[in-house]
Amino acid sequence: MLELREITKRFGDVLANDHINIRVEPGTIHAIVGENGAGKSTAMRIAYGFYTADSGEIIVDGEPRRIETPHDAIALGIGMVHQHFMLVDTMSVAENIVLGAEPGSAASIDLRKAAQEIRALSDEFRLSVDPNALVQDLSVGQQQRVELLKALYRHARLLILDEPTAVLTPQEVEEFFAILRRMREQGKTVIIITHKLSEVLAISDDVTVMRDGRVVGRLKTAETDAAELARMMVGRDVLLRVEKPDARPGGAVLSVKGLSVTAGGERGVRDVSFDVRAGEIVGVAGVEGNGQTELIEALAGLVTPSQMGGAVELGGRDITRASARERYELGIAHVPEDRHRRGLLLDFDLAENSILGVHYRKPAVSFGPLLDLAGIRDRALEIIRDFDVRPANPDLPARALSGGNQQKLIIGREFELRPKLLLVSQPTRGVDIGAIEFIHRKLVRLRDEGCAILLVSAELEEVTSLADRLLVIYHGRIVGEVDPKRTSQEEIGLMMTGGRKGNAE
């Protein structure tokens, strides 16, 4: 169906794809895995016409093809579903699907005809999507089905899916995989770019492994396992599970009492109460958009007091109206979910980014009103070394780093504070498997040193394996507290969608 032959692509001095060869058989589900910066997304964007290769050729249906734009790819039957959905919330499903390929004339778009075609496609693949529903009223899983219908409406025979399960609950993942299997049965070809090895093994027929811009292996999925794939991706053995001793929690460090947060005129958090004790990790599980962002930002001091109700205490001290700087000085560190918007100044170098939040007060950073440039550089080098930030050059701008290395820099900066309380949101989003292992080990070590950690993650496997206690949030409310060791992911997933209440406190 598709073959990339000797594809090479450079971005300045960076060799993203180095004479790669990828072959995808028709009627199969083909996974492409690799660390951040391995070149997998670049290769697929070349196949879809986002980028043009510097050399090499693209073969579709056995014929060499020039694909210079997504329009060229669509004309050849290639569709792509992006990790971040390309949908207009205020428009209907049908309007979103036909956008750019409207039926009828410029003067009169025939939405009725489009809705009929969309309903027929939805029935054929059992997608269960109402063409007349507004996108803003759909769940995340339903929105993803709309993205699939967009590609199918344009007669895609090959679908490229970029991290397709990143924001789905376990139940939605199972439903989604059932859809992909039906597509395969009907002759469609699917390529999945993912970092979730368990899903690769569950859904794919073949897997291509990339490392450092090269293809290092192509395997039949039935003939491999997660350990072998991880070893090929990273170049060494990788610990695929979180190993941690039982927590030994002390007294309550964080106490949240009846907290409510209003954002954009709506209550993002509704009457939430819980404690986080020293020496434990408390996880928060929920489908994204159910109040996790507002909760963490309120606790970090990024929400104005007028938007909050209830009380927040740190070690028995009321900090409800304390500013973000005051909370920082009291020992609250924050790893934000959006590292670009909240965590880094992308045009500042790594040394400058390593002192954000402490630039005004730390002896190793400043002499009164003046910055200690040598001290700052030494501090940055220490973080770079201890947290394995690559490239190990404090003079590089933050934007020159991969997402995983940007994340390690932020985590290193926050951990260096030796915080009493760590608020950490999506710690491994967009991070490769080797860096995930590293970040998990660091979190457990910080817990064992007595830090209280509140962890939010959209990765259910991550939050259940790291957390000592797990809070489940739905529509801004804590609907249950469970022991992640004794509760199945299916039960937690059901609670995440409001299906059942747990032992809420």
Residue 139 belongs to domain with CATH number: 3.40.50.300
The sign of the dihedral angle between the CA atoms of 432, 196, 138, 79 is positive
Domain co-membership, 45 together with 103: yes
Domain co-membership, 376 together with 499: no
- Judge whether 244 lies within some domain: no
pLDDT tens digits along 435-465 = 788 889 999 999 999 999 999 998 888 899 9
* pLDDT of 264: 66
Beta-strand (E) ranges in 264-381? Answer: 266-277, 281-285, 308-314, 317-318, 332-335, 366-367, 370-371
The answer to whether residues 169 and 8 touch, using CB atoms and an 8 Å cutoff, is no
3-state SS, 59-84, equals: EECCEEECCCCHHHHHHCCEEEECCC
The answer to whether residues 436 and 144 touch, using CB atoms and an 8 Å cutoff, is no
The sign of the dihedral angle between the CA atoms of 331, 337, 339, 342 is negative
DSSP letter assigned to residue 221: G
Domain co-membership, 346 together with 484: no
pLDDT tens digits along 86-131 = 888 899 999 999 887 777 655 667 788 888 889 988 888 888 888 9
- The residues, ordered by sequence, that sit 6+ positions from 195 with a Cβ below 8 Å of its Cβ are 33, 163, 432, 433
Instruction: Give me the mean pLDDT over the 298-309 stretch.
Output: 92
The upper half-sphere exposure of residue 19, i.e. CA atoms within 13 Å in the direction of its Cβ, equals 0
* pLDDT of 363: 60
- The distance of Cα 236 from the centroid of its chain, to the nearest Å, equals 24
Cα–Cα distance for residue pair 162/89, rounded to 1 Å: 21
Q: Give 52 or 403, the one with higher predicted confidence.
A: 52
- Judge whether 106 lies within some domain: yes
Look at residues 393, 418, 443 and tell me which one is the last residue of a structural domain: 418
* pLDDT of 107: 60
* pLDDT of 240: 66
433-448 and 403-415 helices, crossing angle to 10°: 10
Domain co-membership, 121 together with 267: no
Look at residues 389, 418, 447 and tell me which one is the last residue of a structural domain: 418
Instruction: Give me the mean pLDDT over the 279-292 stretch.
Output: 92
pLDDT tens digits along 371-421 = 888 888 998 999 999 888 878 899 999 988 877 789 889 999 998 888 999
Domain co-membership, 34 together with 138: yes
Burial 31-52 (b: 16+ CB within 10 A, else e): bbbbbbbbbbbbbbbbbbbebe
- Judge whether 243 lies within some domain: no
DSSP letter assigned to residue 172: H
Instruction: Give me the mean pLDDT over the 266-273 stretch.
Output: 89
The upper half-sphere exposure of residue 438, i.e. CA atoms within 13 Å in the direction of its Cβ, equals 18
Q: Give 224 or 374, the one with higher predicted confidence.
A: 224
Kindly list the strands in the beta sheet with 452-456, ordered across the sheet, starting from the edge strand earlier in the chain. 332-335, 421-425, 452-456, 281-285, 469-474, 477-482
Residue type for position 103: P
Domain that holds residue 360: 339-418
Tell the residue number behind the tokens 């956008």, with chain if given: 99
- The residues, ordered by sequence, that sit 6+ positions from 31 with a Cβ below 8 Å of its Cβ are 191, 192, 193, 194, 200, 203, 204, 206, 207, 208, 221
The sign of the dihedral angle between the CA atoms of 132, 126, 193, 71 is negative
| pLDDT value at 426 more than 80 | yes
Domain co-membership, 59 together with 136: yes
Q: Give 275 or 194, the one with higher predicted confidence.
A: 275
Summary mean pLDDT of the chain:
89
* pLDDT of 277: 98
- Judge whether 446 lies within some domain: yes
3-state helix, strand, coil in the chain (%, to 5): 35, 25, 40
Domain co-membership, 429 together with 412: no
- Judge whether 239 lies within some domain: no
- What share of the chain in percent tops pLDDT 90? 54
Residue 504's pLDDT band, with cuts at 50, 70 and 90, is very low
| pLDDT value at 323 more than 60 | yes
- Judge whether 460 lies within some domain: yes
Among left, alpha and beta (phi > 0; psi -120 to 50; other), residue 128 is left
170-185 and 140-153 helices, crossing angle to 10°: 20
The pTM for the full model equals: 0.72
Domain co-membership, 273 together with 393: no
Look at residues 418, 433, 465 and tell me which one is the last residue of a structural domain: 418
- The residues, ordered by sequence, that sit 6+ positions from 439 with a Cβ below 8 Å of its Cβ are 407, 408, 411, 427, 428, 431
| pLDDT value at 342 more than 50 | yes
Residue type for position 214: R
Query: How many other C-beta atoms are found inside a 10 Å radius of the C-beta of residue 355?
Result: 23
Task: Tell me phi and psi for residue 366, to 5 degrees.
Answer: -140, 155
The answer to whether residues 215 and 42 touch, using CB atoms and an 8 Å cutoff, is no
Helix (H), strand (E) counts: the chain = 16, 22
DSSP letter assigned to residue 479: E
pLDDT tens digits along 64-83 = 999 999 999 999 999 998 76
Domain co-membership, 61 together with 197: yes
Residue 505's pLDDT band, with cuts at 50, 70 and 90, is very low
Domain co-membership, 93 together with 133: yes
Cα–Cα distance for residue pair 452/473, rounded to 1 Å: 20
Q: What is the DSSP string of 173-185?
A: HHHHHHHHHHHHH
Domain co-membership, 106 together with 187: yes
Residue 500's pLDDT band, with cuts at 50, 70 and 90, is low
Domain count, the chain: 3
Instruction: Give me the mean pLDDT over the 130-150 stretch.
Output: 86
Domain co-membership, 50 together with 180: yes
pLDDT tens digits along 231-256 = 999 888 777 678 899 999 999 999 99
* pLDDT of 138: 83
* pLDDT of 468: 97
* pLDDT of 324: 93
Instruction: Give me the mean pLDDT over the 172-179 stretch.
Output: 86
- Judge whether 240 lies within some domain: no
